[in-house]
Structure 1
Amino acid sequence: MEPKPARVRILDAAHELMLTVGLARATTKEIARAAGCSEAALYKYFDSKEELFVRVLTERLPRLTPLLGSLAAEPGQGTLAGNLTEIAREAALFYEQSFPIAASLYAEAQLKKRHYEALHKLGAGPHRPLRDLDAYLRAEQAAGRVRADADTYAAASLLLGACAQRAFAYDAIDAGERPPADEFAARLAKTLLGGISVAQPPA
């Protein structure tokens, strides 16, 4: 079996370390050591830890951003219910897997600020899914499938906020477990559609 390319090993090591010790404590030195390469070799593939973080999110986690981009580019495809269910499913899984990685940032305000500034320079950040889902809903609004008076930004915030809550808070409820992503996504999409769709979904 051929050894994995260095870039793949670095991404694998970064993903594992970010999950286990958190983004704040996963240094490039530790990532390089876990990948079996030098820190200088890591910087041949990635300009910064922030870029490495973005690549972990886009290449190792559920592909939420590409899904939103493709739907916004071609509104009117599929059903609104089906599209929102798929978005909710991908978002639920994305936040479930990314929350343990990014949570450590929120303990240090200055670190979070520096990290967000670096992400903005890369055209990334936690605002991207919200912006992209709003763009998709506005495209559907223009296509006549979302009510003209619907607040698309609020709708996007409700859907993504619920997905983030599933990752953050559902473990604390009495049952102590998250609902399966497919079931959660279907319920969430149906509820949201009741408020924004032109044709109300059947009960």
Structure 2
Amino acid sequence: MRTRDRIIDAAEQAIREFGIAGATTKRIAHLAGCSEALLYKHFAGKEALFLAVLLERLPALAPALARLRLSAGQGDLAAHLTEFALMALEFYRKAAGIASGVLADPSLMAGFRGMLAEREAGPHLPIRALAEILRAEQRGGRLDEVMDADAAAAMLMGACFHRANLSYFVELPDEDGLWAAAIVRTLVRK
């Protein structure tokens, strides 16, 4: 395994075990079996390392969006959107540890925002992509043409984000599939 990959794996492990505040570069380097200097040879700072964990280790929304885009106009739209919602829910659950830690640290958040802007990345992009897919389905007559695709995409992603966060505070019934199907049914009514 490449050193960079070992460092990212160690950072993910440190975040899971100790939270963002406890995921120090010293601890990450120790878990990766390298020096802090080597860690900084691969990453400019903690922000870059945490962004790499988010982009490279968590279940990505891009493949789920690509599958949804490819299925536009074909098959069971509600089933495709439900599958996407379940992937978004999994992403938000796994990203919560990093996201909450980044939000709690103003300097880390500032660095993270700068990196997202530099890369033209951010949490708004999956919502934008989902809205485009919903518009394509509207043009194909599979969704109500009056529906606001931007609002529907934001509501679907927001519902997934909310459920993921709730699961940290209360015990939710193990019914993610039923929940996602109900949310989608509400959005795709014609």
2:180 aligned with 1:185: yes
Shift of 1:70: 4.3
The 1-side partners of 2:125 and 2:17 are apart by 25
The aligned runs of 1:57-76 (5 Å cut-off) are 57-72=54-69, 75-76=72-73
Partner residue, 1:49: 46
Identity %: 44
Q: TM-score w.r.t. structure 2 length?
A: 0.83
- Classify 1:134/1:40 alpha carbon distance in 2 versus 1 (closer, same or farther; 3 Å): farther
- Of the three residues 137, 148, 151, the one matched with 2:148 is 151
Which one has a larger percent helix, Structure 1 or Structure 2? Answer: 2
Q: TM-score w.r.t. structure 1 length?
A: 0.79
- Classify 1:82/1:44 alpha carbon distance in 2 versus 1 (closer, same or farther; 3 Å): farther
Partner residue, 1:23: 20
**Conserved 8 A contact 2:61-2:91:** yes
The 1-side partners of 2:8 and 2:117 are apart by 21
Q: State the superposition RMSD in angstroms.
A: 2.5
2:86 aligned with 1:98: no
- Of the three residues 60, 79, 84, the one matched with 1:82 is 79
Partner residue, 2:10: 13
Partner residue, 1:162: 159
- Classify 1:81/1:21 alpha carbon distance in 2 versus 1 (closer, same or farther; 3 Å): same
